[in-house]
A and B are shown apart, each in its own frame.
Chain A
């Protein structure tokens, strides 16, 4: 805990030097907790980056968030508690996997609805059409096409 705060302060004092994704000094001693931290990091957005998770990002803010996640895990939070904590602080924007709620209903339901609805509609249509019998004949050839075909055929005959 204390070391993390020292690291944070040192970071602030040094005017945010460049850092790359997860740094050696961030890693937690307990591998199980570290694995949880990595897993959570992949679901959290670095808010100053373009669509990067804090696990991938080298921005100083991402580092702060990674440390915060580890701090909460060390304090005994469950995964969902950590996420709740971050959403309370930074809003839904921080989640790379949007929660299933009113505003995201359309997003989450799109694939199953389209797949189910589209599949059913197609199945019914194909079955109806294949039962209704008669095939629609191909459109007749235009005079242009007929003369072209004749030319092709005669050409074929001469070349063989």
Chain B
């Protein structure tokens, strides 16, 4: 009954989405407010029905109803409750349902918080949202129905892939989807603007908060996923340039570019055409990511060819939306007038450079991901593109970008003074050079690149601090004045500084981890001691333990430094009987921003165990950086709400002016 209700709710949501796809557009044509307002009600109703459908699937998973194929294939009655819930989106059908739920959520949010928008713009935006929603409802209902029943229900389920039974999975996909799908809003705004043929600074002002929300979630989602891979996959890697990761990185790069170009459009009425194009591209890349991950084309072209229904369906959606939106863009873009002149050296110029570097970096990732596929299909040439390629092509682009980051916010709009800014950044530059010298001396030679990269990271952080110091007049003016100015400084300025500093922090972590990571690989017996980076790790013994749906072997390590016991670390190996597979649960010991990392290998017949112990200096900075960036984004967002939302006057105005 629950399954059928969930299925039916989804069908109803499709019906609502179809109404929302056309009625508001007709309303906009006829300038009929009632018809245009239909979008608002249908968007909210859609949210209700998709929410009900999603809740139904959660209930089925929680109650372990194995008569539903999706539950049977991905759940087990002994699985802990939290993983019964998170397992809902740990599979294809469920994750697509999550995708449309989040899409409906964003549609509902526009309907609720879009009071400030002109009626016809809101109608258009929600209609475009409904096009996307209809396509994906159809996809789910026709190829990936999560509510399918099994004729003869089995007694027990097949359990969720053990690697996915982790708290990281509870948070990572929803965050990532909030980011991916959030960019659909800026896409819809862009299409709406192209249809209406009217794009101005106000448009950018409405789009920016939505883009920012999506960007914050995507940033956190990517960071979460990276940390999850780091501790769950068992060899301490945190980024693999895997196509699935690239699929999330590309919208992030394009979205970051979009945030910056929308800024130029909002403040200076320039870069309009480019901003519209970026809005389209960012969401197109999100769709591409969905296609790459969901069609199985990445695992191998042949897997895709063997069961092409889903892949071809998403490919069709992809072509329809990307092709359609780009044709609309090509047709209408020339009619958009460009305003806001600026000299090459100016804040606008710096933001154009930011966009150029981010777009090229994004293109590199796109090519790296798709090139092997294209070569295999077109030229029958099997090749691989992996981390060493990106290290040579992507990393230099980002180094250039980071070098430019401190200059951007300090240049004036319209015409900037590069020499003046350089002088003001002198202190930050000196800090960077000192960091290079210190790192060089401390590492005693070795790779010259690492100290330079450390210097770059310090320069970016010091640059962000300098920007704030300049704006508040720190050290130049009396402290009280500085404090007063700091309070008066727009939150977006604080946000930008935090986000930029976050880049520097992440860079420091990445460089330290990759360059000065030390490892110890050996087979250890009881009471053996491993020495690594000043720590002594003594293997106290091996134990067996029974978990809810697995058995695990735990190794207990006594960690000490200079004879003083610090902690006990317990890495383990879990074997899951239902799937006959096992996972490695690494043990982590955090010391400041550095970590000790132990992961277990096989046990030999004599009772010795293969261990891999890593010392990862400052590794946590890799994830603190993105957290700082997201925090900056939130600061900036809170600023926008204060200035743009202006709820009271807006409502008062609407009551004064019923006919719009």
B144 interface residue, CB < 8 Å from A? no
- 8 A Cβ contacts from B225-241 to A: 234-235, 237, 240-241
**Is A96 in contact with B363, judged by CB distance below 8 angstroms?**
no
**Is B118 in contact with A144, judged by CB distance below 8 angstroms?**
yes
Which residue on B lies nearest to A96, using beta carbons?
B386
B566 interface residue, CB < 8 Å from A? no
A56 in complex: contacting residue of B237, B243, B337, B600, CB < 8 Å: B237
- 8 A Cβ contacts from B263-280 to A: 269
**Is B360 in contact with A118, judged by CB distance below 8 angstroms?**
yes
Chain A residues in 8 Å Cβ range of B242: 50-51
**Is B344 in contact with A127, judged by CB distance below 8 angstroms?**
yes
B652 interface residue, CB < 8 Å from A? yes
Interface string of B382-396 (1 = CB under 8 A from A): 111111110011101
CA A110 – CA B362 in complex, angstroms? 11
Chain B residues in 8 Å Cβ range of A43: 386, 388
A24 in complex: contacting residue of B364, B521, B649, CB < 8 Å: B521
- 8 A Cβ contacts from B379-426 to A: 379, 381-389, 392-394, 396-397
**Is B338 in contact with A22, judged by CB distance below 8 angstroms?**
no
A108 interface residue, CB < 8 Å from B? yes
B523 interface residue, CB < 8 Å from A? yes
**Is A130 in contact with B371, judged by CB distance below 8 angstroms?**
no
B584 interface residue, CB < 8 Å from A? yes
The interface size of chain A toward B, counting residues with CB under 8 Å, comes to 56
Smallest CB separation, B338 vs chain A (Å): 7
Chain B residues in 8 Å Cβ range of A51: 240-243, 384, 386
A30 interface residue, CB < 8 Å from B? no
Which residue on B lies nearest to A99, using beta carbons?
B383
Smallest CB separation, A91 vs chain B (Å): 6
CA A26 – CA B499 in complex, angstroms? 44
Smallest CB separation, B51 vs chain A (Å): 34
**Is B384 in contact with A93, judged by CB distance below 8 angstroms?**
yes
**Is B523 in contact with A56, judged by CB distance below 8 angstroms?**
no
**With A19-B602, A144-B118, A151-B657 as given contacts, are A114 and B360 in contact (CB-CB < 8 Å)?**
yes
Smallest CB separation, B254 vs chain A (Å): 14
The interface size of chain B toward A, counting residues with CB under 8 Å, comes to 68
B363 in complex: contacting residue of A42, A110, A144, CB < 8 Å: A110
B368 interface residue, CB < 8 Å from A? yes
- 8 A Cβ contacts from A89-140 to B: 91-98, 103-104, 106-108, 110-111, 114-115, 118-119, 122-123, 126-127, 129-130, 135-139
Chain A residues in 8 Å Cβ range of B360: 111, 114-115, 118
Main secondary structure of the interface of B (DSSP, over half): mixed
CA A27 – CA B523 in complex, angstroms? 11
B612 interface residue, CB < 8 Å from A? yes
Smallest CB separation, B145 vs chain A (Å): 27
CA A148 – CA B651 in complex, angstroms? 11
**Is B200 in contact with A138, judged by CB distance below 8 angstroms?**
yes
CA A98 – CA B359 in complex, angstroms? 22
A151 in complex: contacting residue of B343, B382, B656, CB < 8 Å: B656
**Is A20 in contact with B610, judged by CB distance below 8 angstroms?**
yes
A45 interface residue, CB < 8 Å from B? yes
Which residue on B lies nearest to A20, using beta carbons?
B601
**Is B383 in contact with A20, judged by CB distance below 8 angstroms?**
no
Chain B residues in 8 Å Cβ range of A95: 383-384
Smallest CB separation, B394 vs chain A (Å): 8
A136 in complex: contacting residue of B298, B338, B353, B600, CB < 8 Å: B338
A52 in complex: contacting residue of B240, B299, B340, B344, CB < 8 Å: B240
Chain B residues in 8 Å Cβ range of A21: 235, 612
14 additional contacts (CB under 8 A) given A23-B521, A104-B371, A152-B649: A42-B387, A50-B242, A56-B237, A92-B381, A110-B367, A114-B363, A126-B342, A126-B349, A136-B337, A136-B338, A137-B339, A138-B200, A151-B649, A159-B649
A to B CB contacts below 8 Å, 14 in the list: A19-B601, A20-B599, A53-B386, A56-B240, A92-B384, A96-B388, A97-B386, A110-B367, A111-B396, A119-B353, A126-B352, A127-B344, A136-B338, A138-B201
* Interface residue ranges, B against A (CB under 8 Å): 118, 198, 200-201, 234-235, 237, 240-243, 269, 298-299, 337-344, 349, 352-353, 356-357, 359-360, 363-364, 367-368, 371, 375, 379, 381-389, 392-394, 396-397, 521-523, 582, 584, 599-602, 610, 612, 648-649, 652-653, 656-657, 660
